[in-house]
Amino acid sequence: MSDSALARVQHVSRTYSNHVAVYALRDVSLDLERGAFAAVVGPSGSGKSTLLNLVGALDRPDEGSIVIDGIDLTATPADQLADFRLRRIGFVFQAFNLLPVLSVLENLEFVPALQGVAPAQRRDRARQLLRDVGLDDIRNKRPNELSGGQQQRVAVLRAILPEPAIILADEPTANLDSSNAFHLLDMMEQLNSEKSITFLFSTHDPQVMERAHRLIRLHDGAIVADENTQRASLT
């Protein structure tokens, strides 16, 4: 793995049994650089979510290896993977998954609290992150008081605050209209540019594809193209 590579997926395959073995991924290999703003794209059933689940240590491949930030996930005991996810992976889901009884600020503090970060430190970090993206005015609101776009932006900030190695976003704009998707992508690009946060998306959304610095195209579980766009900073 090169010094700048954050993740290496090597010859990974994943099958599911439905009377016969069906390949969700077939011999997939890729490197992801630190600071990437990359999207995995392809039709439904192409293996996008499976790839993110493997990179996020939510599942294991049947063949091949996955190394994230120097940790070989395929050689890590299952009882250690939960701690790895807690400390090194940030997840963003379609359904936001904010805790309804907590304020925005408390939602942001939730994972750092599980990590053992001191209350004053995690609150200061949460307030600063909200200020950085212009959302400090909603810090005391509950999720049901927010628009869908605001909820998804808070979900992204919640994933970022624990300072993971990588943010995995599975169809993050799927439940948003085009205007809210635009503002969400603006915020994520800002965080990527200013804080060098690494993002890996799965998406069908043309807006996400237009913004991504790299497009990894899957079809029937295999990579059929891997393109750096003109805006890419990766080599």
User: What residues have CB less than 8 Å from 123, skipping those under 6 apart?
Assistant: 105, 109
Contacts 24+ apart (CB under 8 A), 13-21: 13/61, 13/62, 13/63, 13/64, 13/221, 14/47, 14/50, 14/54, 14/59, 14/61, 14/62, 14/221, 15/62
Whole-angstrom Cα distance, residue 154 to residue 92?
A: 10
3-state SS class at 166: strand
Query: Closest Cα to residue 174, out of 91, 94, 92?
Result: 94
Name the fold adopted by 5-228: Rossmann fold (3.40.50)
Query: pLDDT tens digits, residue range 50-79?
Result: 999 999 999 999 999 999 999 999 999 988
pTM as predicted: 0.90
Query: pLDDT tens digits, residue range 73-93?
Result: 999 998 899 999 999 999 998
Query: pLDDT tens digits, residue range 137-160?
Result: 999 999 999 999 999 999 999 999
